Amino acid sequence: MDRPLKSPGLYALEEVFHRQFEQSRGEPAPTLQARLDRLRRLRAALTENEARFEAAISADFGHRSTVETAIAETMLVLGEIKHAAKHLKGWMAPERIPTTVQFAPAKNRLIPQPLGVVGIIAPWNYPLQLTLAPAVAAIAAGNSAIIKPSELVPRFSELLMEAIAKKFDTAELAVTDIDDDIAKAFAALPFDHLIFTGSTRIGRLVAEAAGRNLTPVTLELGGKSPVIVDGSADIDEAAQRIAYGKLLNAGQTCIAPDYVLVPQTSVQPFAMRLQGHMQHMFGTDPKNPDYSSIVSDRHYARLEGLVADAAAKGATIMQPAAPNEPEWKERRKFPPTVIVDATPEMTVMQQEIFGPLLPVIGTRDATEAIAFINRRDRPLALYWFGTDNAARDAVLARTVSGGVTVNDCLFHFAQAYQPMGGVGASGSGAYHGEWGFKTLTKLKPVFYRSRFNRLADLYPPYGAKVARLEKLMRMLS
């Protein structure tokens, strides 16, 4: 009775955090072999439970294609583990840094050092990849980590907790349960670094809570990622690739195309081709096993509201079926939807969509398209289609976004040698590959003084020798 009223989960979280904190201070730099062993165990936790993870995620969604889980989650995480294991020895090596000439023959080194305890707050849309990819970075950098999965995927979260507990001591890597107390308390813990993936609104709250402890944060947020279809583009090819990027995971992807800007004269032809490719890929039958469900009734209703608002404000709605038809709604399969002639006043153009709706907007020229994008928050991703390299380079130079794919969608995210991160309202910081290692590492600068250096000549008493040395240093600066 001497304890305050807390959930058992919250007590467990605090105990695990304390254990990892003490371990990180007692063993601040795990060896290369220790880190490689942890990466091997993480790989085993994934591969031994791959089919179970696919089934749990599909059950949490109502239905999700196992192919999409394999391609967009399992394969990406396995790729991250393989890449980290291959390059880790080089990443961990001290880096030779030039020495300012005035201080020669001294030397400088940058020594990578683990930060300590990393917190990972994961979303529901790609629950496997967005929990374990940051964990790969944390392990490679020599940190311990605590993962908080999303409450919207309870079956997956329970399985992840079980799989990680079988392979890891809680002082190395742990998964929390998903009760409300933990969700509220997690970001307030004094982590050495916190990675959050989710909405901009929640990201602000996480950053505020972490800021009270001066905890550095990597925020992987979202926003409205635009597509520019240039006048030089093959609109049928562009429509096919955009349809895939939009409908993967039924549009529940933070870097999914959120709206398309096309030349005014191409709006109708593009919209027709877009709808045609959507139906070719996923058909018009809600029982199609390739097409994923919307994660919850609340999110389904939100999408219905976006479409109704756009229609009421004058947009043309192109759908294979109405979303309130029982066969679609009972399965939470939202019909792929093209919204033609969307306007800024429509709610669908004011919120991140996170579903299989795609507004198409006509523009007079590339200048107008660039201005349209730049009047809004900086997006997490931007996509450009065309063959005019000068037009492409103008868009790249005059817009700012987290990342870009040219003549396709999504695939900049999967590049192990490139960072992934947002800018402004779409996030801060980056990870993936060596970028994740560096994000979760303190690159400690060390200066090694040489016994042959004349720095002692700077010591007082000052006089003519210091004047001469100062003159020489100015000349060398």
Active-site positions read 220, 254
The order of strands in the sheet holding 144-148 is 173-175, 144-148, 117-121, 193-197, 217-220, 427-428
Residues in the chain: 477
Name, in order, each residue with C-beta under 8 angstroms of 268's C-beta and a sequence gap of 6 or more. Answer: 340
Biggest alpha carbon distance in the chain? Answer: 92
Residue 193: left (phi > 0), alpha (psi -120 to 50), or beta?
A: beta
Compute the distance between CA of residue 248 and CA of residue 228 in angstroms, rounded to an integer: 19
Question: Could you say which DSSP state residue 96 is in?
Answer: E
State the DSSP string of 73-90.
IIHHHHHHHHHHHHHHHH
* Amino acid (1-letter code) at residue 46: L
Alpha-carbon distances of 251 from 14, 148, 263, 281, 402, rounded to whole Å: 36, 23, 24, 14, 19
Name, in order, each residue with C-beta under 8 angstroms of 350's C-beta and a sequence gap of 6 or more. Answer: 344
Compute the distance between CA of residue 455 and CA of residue 164 in angstroms, rounded to an integer: 53
Compute the distance between CA of residue 378 and CA of residue 398 in angstroms, rounded to an integer: 12
